[in-house]
Amino acid sequence: MRVAVLTSLYPSAARPFEGIFAERRWLGMRARGHDVRVVQPLPFAPPAALARALGRADWAAVAASPRVEQRGDLRVERPRYLHLPGRARGNAERFAARGVAAIAAEPAPDVVVCDYAWPAAAAVPELAARGVPAVVSGRGSDVLQVAGEAGLGDELARCLRAARGWCAVSADLVQRMDVLAGPPGRGVLVPNGVDLERFAPGDRGAARARLGLPAAGVLVLCVGHLIERKDPLLALAAFVRGAPEGARLAWVGRGPLRDTLRRAADEAGLGERLLLPGEQTPEQLAGWYTACDALLLTSRREGRPNVVLEALASGRPVVATAAGGTGELLDGLPGLLVESRHPEAVGDALAAALAGAGQGALAPAALRARVEPLSWDASFERLEACLRAAIEEARAA
């Protein structure tokens, strides 16, 4: 298949950690013999030096992102568009126009995948008018936040109805997209895979030695952006309640709430027992999973968290608040999925998981067995079937 990917989130030399699972998907599809090109329109931004002088590291990263970049076997094009604060619909239209223009400049693809539903789905009506089938791929906030807080549900629904189909990484998200668009049962589940070679049970002591951590004591791990949606203060409060004395809490990731979390940890008396190593490569992250005793996830919204897949593949228990498709991965593991967002409830679940870690259903081999069917090859096969169905439907129309 000749596939064009229109997306707002993809790694670059300037932002290597943004959208790494999207890159994993499309590099994998390219390796399976498909002709894949990626178009990622970015806003105009002031020169990187000026942006840094203004204290806007995000603008600097956008400005420094190459307009054309070869990443592995994939060519990534980044045309620029005008982004105006507070103009969500207009920004989406301008994003879509630049994306469609770039896609149209090359031989027509068999199908366009709007990866991260919004604003990429805004391109669907124009693609349909040109006779190019499009599939909208949902991952989480690109559907849930857009349809809810951003007030763009009607617009996203209109674009979904113009598409040849849609897919999402969790059954929960598929259902929500179906409800938005109207016809139930049309969406397709295409979950992300997990790299079962990279993320695997290992020697905890050796992993800690490589990270420069003490061999003794409990280590609870959180992975994700330090943003409100991940609720790091709830994670901290649950850790204080549920972890044993002397335990350490490590948060792998970056974000605007870093200093807020540090201050709260100092006030709680954690001091150096809160570790903030920043963003990590997948290879480094695998070491953190091996080193930890449990993963803690306190998100308010989720698609189907990759961190849960990775932790389970590494043989580590996961305590998580009920959000989106998280429960689909923890179904049948009593006590690990917490319906309440009260620190006491989450903390008590963490304490129980730490006490039972390594035994019975929480033994490393048992946890890994739950995700072994979720390989990347299985994910690619589902995606291929979804895209072929869209192409055939368009040809039959």
The yes or no reply on domain 204-371 and CATH 3.40.50.2000 is: yes
Give the chain's mean pLDDT: 93
The interaxial angle of helices 282-291 and 204-211, nearest 10 deg, is 130
pLDDT at 135: 98
Q: What is the mean pLDDT of residues 14-28?
A: 93
pLDDT at 381: 97
Q: What are the φ/ψ torsions at residue 188 (nearest 5 degrees)? A: -125, 135
Q: What is the mean pLDDT of residues 167-176?
A: 94
Tell me the C-alpha distance between 191 and 167, whole Å: 9
Q: In the chain, where does the domain assigned CATH 3.40.50.2000 lie?
A: 2-193+376-396, 204-371
Tell me the C-alpha distance between 94 and 338, whole Å: 41
The residues pairing with 6 across neighbouring beta strands, listed in sequence order, are 39, 114
Percent of the chain with pLDDT over 70: 97
Please give the C-alpha separations between residue 37 and each of 27, 78, 385, in angstroms, as whole numbers: 10, 11, 19
Q: What is the mean pLDDT of residues 96-120?
A: 95
Grade residue 321 by pLDDT with cuts at 50, 70 and 90.
very high
pLDDT at 152: 86
Report the topology of domain 2-193+376-396: Rossmann fold (3.40.50)
Q: What are the φ/ψ torsions at residue 35 (nearest 5 degrees)? A: -85, 105
Tell me the C-alpha distance between 343 and 240, whole Å: 9
Q: Model confidence over 124-139: pLDDT tens digits?
A: 999 999 999 999 999 9
Assess whether pLDDT exceeds 70 at residue 23: yes
Tell me the C-alpha distance between 306 and 248, whole Å: 23
pLDDT at 185: 81
pLDDT at 330: 94
Assess whether pLDDT exceeds 70 at residue 274: yes
Q: Model confidence over 276-305: pLDDT tens digits?
A: 999 999 999 999 999 999 999 999 999 899
- C-alpha closest to that of 224 among 279, 292, 270: 279
Grade residue 397 by pLDDT with cuts at 50, 70 and 90.
confident
Grade residue 149 by pLDDT with cuts at 50, 70 and 90.
low
Whether the CB-CB separation of 140 and 117 falls below 8 Å is answered with no
pLDDT at 62: 87
Burial group, residue 184, by CB count within 10 angstroms (0-12, 13-18, 19+):
exposed
Across 13-22, 36-45, 178-187, 251-260, least confident range: 178-187
pLDDT at 93: 95
Q: Which residue has better confidence, 242 or 89?
A: 242
pLDDT at 51: 62
Grade residue 150 by pLDDT with cuts at 50, 70 and 90.
low
Q: Model confidence over 35-61: pLDDT tens digits?
A: 999 999 999 987 767 666 666 777 788
Percent of the chain with pLDDT over 90: 83
pLDDT at 47: 75
Q: What is the 3-state secondary structure (H, E, C) of the chain?
A: CEEEEEECCCCCCCCCCCCHHHHHHHHHHHHCCCEEEEECCEECCCCHHHHHHCCCHHHHHHHHCCCEEEECCEEEECCEECCCCCCHHHHHHHHHHHHHHHHHCCCCCCEEEEECHHHHHHHHHHHHHCCCCEEEEECCHHHHHHHCCCCCHHHHHHHHHHCCEEEECCHHHHHHHHHHHCCCCCCEECCCCCCCCCCCCCCHHHHHHHHCCCCCCCEEEEECCCCHHHCHHHHHHHHHHHCCCCCEEEEECCCCCHHHHHHHHHHCCCHHHEECCCCCCHHHHHHHHHHCCEEEECCCCCCCCHHHHHHHHCCCCEEEECCCCHHHHHCCCCCCEECCCCHHHHHHHHHHHHHHCCCHHHCHHHHHHHHCCCCHHHHHHHHHHHHHHHHHHHHHC
Please, which residues have CB within 8 angstroms of residue 154's CB and are 6 or more apart in sequence? none
pLDDT at 86: 83
